[in-house]
Chains A and B, each alone.
Chain A
Amino acid sequence: MNQRMQTTMLSRVADSLYWMSRYLERAEHTARLIDVDFQLRLDQSPEAGSDRWWRLLEALHAPVPADGKIDAATLTYILTLDKTNSSSIISCVTSARENLRQVREQCSSEMWEQLNRLYLQVNSTTSNEAWLLQSYAFFRAVREGAHLFQGVTDSRMSHGEGWQYIQLGRYVERTDALARLIGAYFRRLPCLPDQAAESEEYLEWVGLLKSCAAFEAYCKRYTAELRPLRVAEFLLLNPEFPHSVRFCVDKVHAALIAIAELTERKQDLPVRLAGRLQATLSFSQIDEIMASGANTYVESVRQQCSQAHTAIHQIYFDYPVESALTQ
């Protein structure tokens, strides 16, 4: 017998949970990227660093300064505390909290407290010279805050429909962010895929792996010898690592199947789109991907991911009234 209760979830509530989760994931991702960049910069010549900044801006889809000049301080400010940049850490955390505030009765009080605390902490930070040097602690706080929230959510909230939207938001966001990041590297960094990278280049690939929190996991799988091909294989196709594209798409697919069952919707477009992407990733060969260009491949991943996002919106959050009445 089916033990699942047919429950009601308002579209607005689902939408808020989804976006809350996306914003928080985005904040965490941004914090990780800047933090890694900050660490790498210490080991590198200034020119190499400046190249990476452009990559960073591209990977984070951040606004390029009007005068086309960037330096460490400006870049860090734009990506962290700049309220006019809608994808800065402070903007993301604020948006996440705002979304959760409107559906407070749907989440556990621990979840609210955790996110509220992170929000208060981020908002009490003022940007100045001293802070820039100490920003390590700030990024750490953001990442830990996001991890704590995820832990509290998983252990305190029923893993019902609402929780599935939180999962969905997190992994849709992560898929897109990873694909964008990997694309930026393979587009901007010339490489010989199947040779071990050396010196400056080596550092760059370490940077990419660390930006995906994947350096240690990669070494376990392939040893410390870094080959662009293997890096790409690990980050794109590994089914077990939580920051690989394949893993994220699996999660998106699973959440969509659960939601389709819970809502008993006959329209299965989101599930089919995510399923198709999942199939592509599970049957792709890395040498084929590299032959036709890794950035072309991730571009197509991003496109399919965005189609799934649009379908989720159209089916669950913002459907036209006419279609709902004829069902």
Chain B
Amino acid sequence: MPLPESARSLFRPPFRNYQFDAAYDEMFQAPGVPRPHYQALFQTLLELPPEEMRKSQQAADLSFLHQGITFTVYGNDEGTERVFPNDLLPRIIPHHEWRKIESGLTQRIAALNLFLEDVYHRGRILADGIVPRELVYSCRHFRREMRNLTVPRGIYVSICGTDLVRLPDGSFAVLEDNLRVPSGVSYMLANRKVLKKVFPTLFRDYGVCPIDHYAQALLATLRALSPASSTSRHEPTVVLLTPGVFNSAYFEHTFLAQQMGIELVEGRDLLVHDNVVYMRTTAGLKRVDVIYRRVDDDFLDPLCFRRDSGLGVPGLFNAYRAGNVAMANAVGTGVADDKALYAYVPAIIRYYLGEEPVIANVETYLLTDRSQRNYVLEHLDELVVKAVGESGGYGMLIGPHSTAEQREDFRQRIQAEPRNYIAQPTLSLSRAPCFLEGEAQARHVDLRPYILYGENVTLVPGGLTRVALRRGSLVVNSSQGGGSKDTWVLRA
């Protein structure tokens, strides 16, 4: 049978070596047949000389380097700064798909906030046996100090970054929630800036939803948390608390502070007096109402949490308890993004909202359960094992890509501390074309939209599409050879 016209074009550059496998392909519905919303990009790429693309890629890389859009890789001798690789081919999401993502994530953040409020107060969901008590209390991120503490508007998670993956059947599933200090949003904004320069006409013709209002929306969200005691003064003072220059996300901290027009402070710039937080300015002490903190719970206040923390502010937690300062996210939200608790999120949604989850979870094995554990230990070579409290792609075993030695290591670790691990089937993440080595190649991608919860829930259309740039790799984390690309959500 002769190939259809469009399929023949598949074998033209830059798609000559484009690979298909069982994974869902974001661009093609069948080899050579692009999905309708990718048609225009496909056509543009066929007409564009690869040389042109290569030049654009070089210009983009250079611009990232000069602006210092870098992250720090831990574990080397000294923190090495690296440019976060950016891929020029946009990932396109049709409007109706985005609507579903939006409603699913809105539902999820609402339910998780109700859960946190409940867990730190009456604990109905525990009493009703929906979520096991020991699971919550054994969580490393559960903060006893938060019991019966009222947070502004009852909002615990104001800024959330949820990782979504697309399964082979084309549906989205939640891979994990990041409810502590999700990062990456600056790359989302930087990618957009670059892409608008590379594909101005295409961008305009596609009708892409803008994302530039993120900083403003974030500021509004943070201001909405301003404690009642400070409403008499007209504008609440919001600051961004960073661990400092050596943090891997320092660039993002400076970027967001600059975009919002707020002060970027370190722990040593703040002090607490009579349970009120002040920052030290040249004009004297200035009261702080809301802290967007990019410092982990553990390091916030040496009087309350880790004593050896030099990053924190002594007395901060007391000021927080007194209701004189708000923090985003609240302390103790990590209990809800524990990877073992994740398995209960669908039940949590049903419990508080009486609704079915709009976006499904990924099947998860809890290793505290004997039969599930046995199954996992027998199938280590097929599954992905993750440490419950880790993020950033650290502490992970990918069964099919692992060595016998690594599996043995995880077997022992699981048996020693089953609560510390979960297992999931190895997912075939969807693939999207990336411009690599002068041609389009398929790589696995995920999607991290950012959800803001203040006066109301705001999702900036799109998010960070992370790419596993190594051929065949399933790990998209920047620390593990991942990159990112711009995400276009279409207006209609």
Contacts and interface: CB of A to CB of B under 8 A. Distances in A.
Interface string A147-191: 000000000000001000000000000000000000000000000
A102 B269 contact: no
Contact of A105 (B244, B258, B280, B281): B258
A324 B285 contact: yes
A12 B264 contact: no
A258 to B, nearest CB: 12
B107 interface: no
Contact of A8 (B68, B263, B268): B263
B67 interface: yes
Interface in B64-78: 66-68
Given A105-B254, A105-B257, A321-B271, A11 B281 contact: yes
B283 A101 contact: no
B286 A11 contact: no
A10 B269 contact: yes
B204 interface: no
A111 interface: no
B257 A109 contact: no
Contacts of B284: 263, 265, 319, 324, 327
A8 B237 CA distance: 10
Interface residues on B, range: 20 to 34
B282 A104 contact: no
Contact of A265 (B279, B283, B286): B283
A109 B67 CA distance: 8
A325 interface: yes
A274 B227 CA distance: 43
Interface in B284-304: 284-286
A9 B283 contact: yes
Interface in A1-21: 6, 8-12, 14
Contacts of A327: 284
B265 interface: yes
B233 to A, nearest CB: 14
Interface in A297-327: 316-317, 319, 321, 324-325, 327
Given A11-B269, A321-B273, A325-B273, A105 B282 contact: no
Interface centre among A10, A259, A264 (most CB of B within 10 A): A10
Nearest to A113: B66
B266 interface: yes
B48 interface: no
A161 B264 contact: no
Interface centre among A12, A265, A327 (most CB of B within 10 A): A12
A103 to B, nearest CB: 9
Nearest to A263: B283
Contacts of A105: 254-255, 257-258, 264
B116 to A, nearest CB: 32
Given A161-B282, A316-B282, A324-B284, A10 B263 contact: yes
B62 interface: no
A325 B285 contact: yes
A2 B284 CA distance: 21
Given A321-B271, A321-B273, A325-B273, A12 B280 contact: yes
Given A101-B245, A109-B67, A9 B271 contact: no
Interface string B131-169: 000000000000000000000000000000000000000
Contacts of B264: 105
A124 B126 CA distance: 63
B282 A259 contact: yes
B281 to A, nearest CB: 5
B254 A9 contact: no
B280 A102 contact: no
Contacts of B283: 6, 8-9, 262-265
Interface in A48-62: none
Contacts of A321: 271, 273, 285
A102 B245 contact: yes
Given A11-B269, A12-B269, A104-B254, 15 more contacts: A9-B283, A10-B265, A10-B269, A10-B280, A10-B282, A11-B281, A11-B282, A12-B266, A14-B282, A105-B257, A109-B66, A109-B67, A265-B283, A319-B284, A321-B273
Interface of A: 6, 8-12, 14, 101-102, 104-105, 109, 113, 161, 259, 262-265, 316-317, 319, 321, 324-325, 327
Interface of B: 66-68, 237, 244-245, 254-255, 257-258, 263-266, 268-269, 271, 273, 278-286
15 contacts: A8-B283, A10-B265, A11-B269, A11-B280, A11-B281, A12-B266, A105-B264, A113-B66, A263-B282, A263-B284, A316-B282, A319-B284, A324-B278, A324-B280, A327-B284
Question: Lowest 7 CB-CB distances: which A-B pairs, in order?
Answer: A263-B283, A105-B254, A11-B280, A316-B282, A324-B285, A105-B258, A14-B282
